[in-house]
């Protein structure tokens, strides 16, 4: 057991994956869910607020339909149909474990990337919590298509934690923390008790998922932890197959791996977090070292003179990734120029724009990305 203590919290999101909901890949089981439910109930009785993000709809649908086709052999419509069958069964499964009102929330990536829908979801969650209702969240797999999917409930849970303004994200897995290598494959892998920042070195340690019904793995858990900690939300990864870690968590102990939240001076505002983590990038621009320094150290806007190359086919108002020539991520921002226009003005001074572009506002819009529409990555905020 770790000697670290769990940071104080008042509102948590608990994520439970398919490997725990459907351990035999044949339908919902209570095998691992009773200790999780007990932790949630005890926390709520102690005056804390909890939201639950649960996988398992497709597995429940498969069991109900006696469908034994492997996951790799199912088409998108088949998976959507199984999710439609299984989602009410999953909700009923959880309802039996809670003697309190529950609410079902089904989200898609479209609800997260569109700012107005993002805010609407946020308001709904706030109202449910005010009413003392336990929100149970899942991705709306019945309508989500591949290009508009969150794709895994680790990242969905991080988005929900941001929507709910939580201060803790608990990811229940079938491993007892984050390891230096996949412990299922490497007997010498060592558990890391505390991760202060998710760096390229940390990312390199993550492997894939080994469970048949799971869609994530350690990579998606790191992605979720990065999203949550960027917004000031501590994230813990624990073994959800055993009741002891959950009991320890309830006592304020830290039985798995703690991903520490970003310091107050480095965490992102709500809008910039949405921009960096939810708004999809339609292309990228590579900048020189001088421009990177200006963005990182001075909080400057991105000017055309600092742009070296442009990739993608994006329009004015789209989000673009901003990176250095060695591939290091610097920021994401909303561009004031299309890709075609940037090809023409990259490397040029701002006073040249009106002669290079046939656009009336080119003389006044001398920046490519305004600093208010630019969100630095955590690496760039260090």
pLDDT average per 10 residues of sequence, the chain (382 residues): 79 92 78 92 96 90 81 76 90 91 92 89 96 94 64 90 95 90 83 89 70 60 93 94 91 93 84 90 96 95 96 95 94 95 90 73 76 91 76
Tell me, what's the pLDDT at 145? 57
User: What DSSP assignment string belongs to 348-367?
Assistant: --GGGHHHHS--GGGGT---
User: 259: helix, coil or strand?
Assistant: strand
What was the pLDDT predicted at 209?
45
pLDDT on residue 130: 97
Q: Which class in CATH covers the domain with range 280-376?
A: mainly beta
Neighbour-count burial for 268-288, b at 16+ CB within 10 Å, e otherwise: beeebbbbbbbbeebbbbbbe
* Interstrand relation of 307-312 and 281-287 (parallel, antiparallel or unpaired): antiparallel
| pLDDT computed for residue 215 by the predictor | 44
β-pairing, 257-259 vs 281-287, is unpaired
Please state, in angstroms and rounded to a whole number, the distance separating the CA atoms of residues 46 and 273.
30
**DSSP code for 5:** B
Question: 82 is written with which tokens?
Answer: 């199984």
Gap between the Cα atoms of 240 and 354, Å rounded: 60
Predicted confidence at residue 207, as pLDDT, reads: 60
Which residue from 236, 250, 262, 205 is spatially nearest to 377, judged by alpha carbons?
A: 262
Pick the CATH number of 11-270 from 3.40.630.10, 3.40.50.300, 3.20.20.70, 3.40.1160.10: 3.40.1160.10
Domain boundaries, the chain: 11-270, 280-376
Contact status, residue 103 vs residue 83, Cβ threshold 8 Å: no
CA end-to-end span of the chain, whole Å? 31
pTM, two decimals, is 0.85
| Helix (H) or strand (E) segment spanning residue 257 | strand 257-259
Residue with tokens 């790191």: 222
Q: Can you tell me the distance from the alpha carbon of 91 to that of 96, in angstroms, rounded to the nearest whole number?
A: 9
Q: Where are the alpha helices (DSSP H) in the chain?
A: 18-21, 33-45, 57-65, 76-95, 109-113, 115-130, 153-163, 200-204, 218-230, 243-250, 270-277, 289-298, 339-345, 353-356
Q: In angstroms, how far apart are the furthest CA atoms of the chain?
A: 69
| Rg for the chain, CA atoms, rounded | 22
């Amino acid at each position: 057991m770790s000697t670290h203590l769990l940071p104080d919290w008042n509102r948590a999101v608990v994520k439970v994956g398919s490997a725990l909901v459907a351990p035999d890949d044949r339908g919902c089981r209570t095998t691992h869910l009773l200790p999780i439910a007990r932790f949630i109930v005890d926390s709520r009785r102690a005056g804390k607020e909890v939201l639950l993000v649960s996988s398992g709809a497709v597995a429940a649908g498969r069991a109900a339909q006696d469908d034994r086709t492997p996951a790799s052999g199912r088409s998108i419509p088949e998976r959507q149909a199984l999710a439609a069958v299984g989602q009410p069964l999953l909700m009923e499964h959880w309802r039996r474990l809670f003697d309190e009102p529950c609410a079902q929330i089904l989200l898609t990536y479209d609800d997260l990337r569109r700012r107005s829908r993002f805010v609407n979801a946020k308001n709904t969650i706030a109202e449910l919590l005010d009413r003392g209702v336990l929100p149970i969240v899942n991705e709306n797999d019945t309508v989500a298509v591949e290009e508009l999917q969150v794709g895994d409930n680790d990242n969905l849970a991080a988005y929900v934690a941001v929507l709910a303004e939580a201060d803790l994200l608990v990811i229940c897995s079938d491993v007892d923390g984050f390891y230096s290598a996949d412990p299922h494959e490497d007997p010498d892998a060592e558990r890391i008790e505390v991760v202060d920042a998710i760096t390229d070195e940390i990312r390199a340690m993550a492997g894939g998922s080994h469970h048949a019904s799971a869609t994530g793995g350690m990579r998606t858990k790191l992605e979720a932890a990065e999203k949550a900690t960027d917004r000031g939300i501590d994230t813990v990864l624990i073994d959800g197959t055993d009741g002891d870690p959950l009991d320890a968590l309830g006592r304020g102990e830290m039985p798995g791996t703690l991903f520490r939240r970003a310091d107050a001076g480095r965490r992102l505002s709500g809008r910039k977090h949405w921009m960096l983590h939810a708004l999809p990038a339609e292309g990228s621009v590579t900048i020189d070292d001088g421009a990177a320094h200006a963005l990182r150290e001075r909080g400057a806007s991105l000017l055309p003179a600092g742009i070296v190359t442009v990739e993608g086919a994006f329009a004015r108002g789209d989000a673009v990734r901003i990176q250095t020539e060695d591939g290091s991520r610097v920021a994401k921002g909303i561009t004031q120029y299309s890709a075609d226009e940037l090809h023409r003005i990259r490397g040029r001074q701002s006073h040249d724009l009106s002669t290079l572009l046939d656009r009336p506002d080119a003389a006044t819009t001398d920046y490519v990305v305004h600093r208010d529409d630019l969100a630095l990555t955590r690496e760039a905020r260090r």
